[in-house]
Amino acid sequence: MIHPIEYRYGTKEMKRIWSEESKIKRMIWVEVALLKALAKKGYLNFEEVENVRKRAIKINPGRVKEIEEEIRHDIMALVKAMSEVSDCRWIHFGATSNDIIDTATATQLRDSVLIFEEKIRKLALLLVEKAIEYKEVVCLGRTHGQAALPTTYGFRFAVWASEVARHFVRLRQIKERLLVGKMSGAVGTQAAFGKDGFEIENEVMRLLNLKPAIISTQVIPRDIYCEYIEFLANLATTLEKIALNIRILQRAEVAELMEKFETRQVGSSTMPHKRNPIDSENVCGLARVVRGFVEPQHQSAILWEERDLTNSSAERITLLEATILADHILTRLIKIVSGIAIDLENVKKNLEAQRGLNLSEAVMIELTKRGVDRQEAHEILRIASLRAYANKSLLLEELLKEERVLRYLRKEELAELLKPEKYLGTALDRVEKVVEWVKRAVNEG
């Protein structure tokens, strides 16, 4: 074994779909579907087709690779292997290599999409559960890595849930364009099938639960693969964003979130106390690899006339690895979210450590409502905040020194304004709206 996908990354179910054995079996399915379509048009009888099917499904993939090493053509190797076990003269009739390859790939994509749909839905609903559970847990919001207005953990989870749900919607939208095959011959004109071309192609696709490409040359236009890889890159970006923020919030000086740490898990070979966010780091690292496949796939869409072979070698890597790695990190993030813990004491401590400074806007807004010019109110709060930073004092203490503030607000009113739970705006209502939308979005269809 050489590649980490073989022994370290990827789920069994997704690697099974993209294995070499699966690819060969799927190409046999396509060849058999073509024979069935030809039989329906009277080229041969269905008994012959069944005879080929029974024998072909037992072909050892190693035999196909053995023939390929000799003749240096993968599809002719498959055809020869099928012909060795059957004397049917109609195998591969009217087809070109990419009729078989692209259509078999479409079945791999079809089965992969089903897995992605299931897991994206699961992650979105997990995040919704967390949004509901922590809807009212007030925490410190941060912008630029610095203290900002208060928010809630439910709000954070709702933001992530909405983004994941949009990927579910996107995947549903691209399926119509992505899950297509072809049976159109050497340059796409179906010349070998003549007037039967459309019917033969439609029947093959019906048998394989695919749709026929609206038009193709010797290959299906690669823009659909570009869109698929772009989707995986976009999904990976969201997964990395969530994992990155979990890592940030797990930092020792923040310590609000924590990945689940198993009883026998080791964090460091030399520092026994370590509880590193290794799953989140794994997501972040591999998400970058997934995004790296966007450019080579785009290059693979730029082919000479009716086709050249520059896409073939690249797509053996881009489609397989992007799919397996995207599924891997999606599965990993589901695990992370399922077991994530929130340290409510640290959440409260980090909020209170701001000494009211992150509520400066609340006081500014109220002063403006009571008659102070907004810019003047901003300056009053800016200066008071600078003093609080310098003196390491409460913002309330500094505001009580400001005559311009006391002219409009009493001490108890200021204290009320500086309570984080009083300055959440529509946050709680927003979480409820998002929860409703996400559930509807991922359960449609």
In order of 152, 303, 350, 427, the CA distances from 157 in angstroms are 9, 44, 19, 12
Closest by CA to 392, choosing from 423, 422, 353, is 353
3-state secondary structure 371-411: CCCHHHHHHHHHHHHHHHHHHCCCHHHHHCCCHHHHCCCCH
3-state secondary structure of 425: coil
d(CA 325, CA 4): 10
Return the closest-CA partner of residue 177 out of 111, 230, 209, 221.
221
The count of residues in the chain is: 445
Going from the C-alpha of 382 to that of each of 126, 257, 264, 401, 423, the distances in angstroms are 41, 31, 50, 14, 19
* Number of continuous H segments (helices) and E segments (strands) in the chain: 20, 6
**8 A C-beta contact, residue 132 and residue 161:** no
Q: What spatial distance separates the first Cα and last Cα of the chain, rounded to whole Å?
A: 41
Three-class secondary structure assignment of 272-299: CCCCCCHHHHHHHHHHHHHHCCHHHHHH
| Paired strand residues for 151 | 139
Phi first, then psi: give them for residue 212, nearest 5 degrees.
-75, 140
Retrieve residue 359's tokens: 């509520």
- Residue 36 · residue 49 · CB < 8 Å: yes
Please list the active-site residues. Answer: 144, 268
The span from the CA of 235 to the CA of 330, in Å, is 9
Query: Taking the CB of residue 112, how many other CB atoms lie within 10 A of it?
Result: 23
Q: Give the angle subtended at the CA of 444 by the CAs of 440 and 445, to the nearest 5°.
A: 175
Which two tokens mark 250?
């797990």
Residue 246 has phi, psi (to 5 degrees) of -65, -40
| Torsion sign (Cα): 189, 192, 195, 200 | negative
Residue 212, H or E segment: strand 211-212
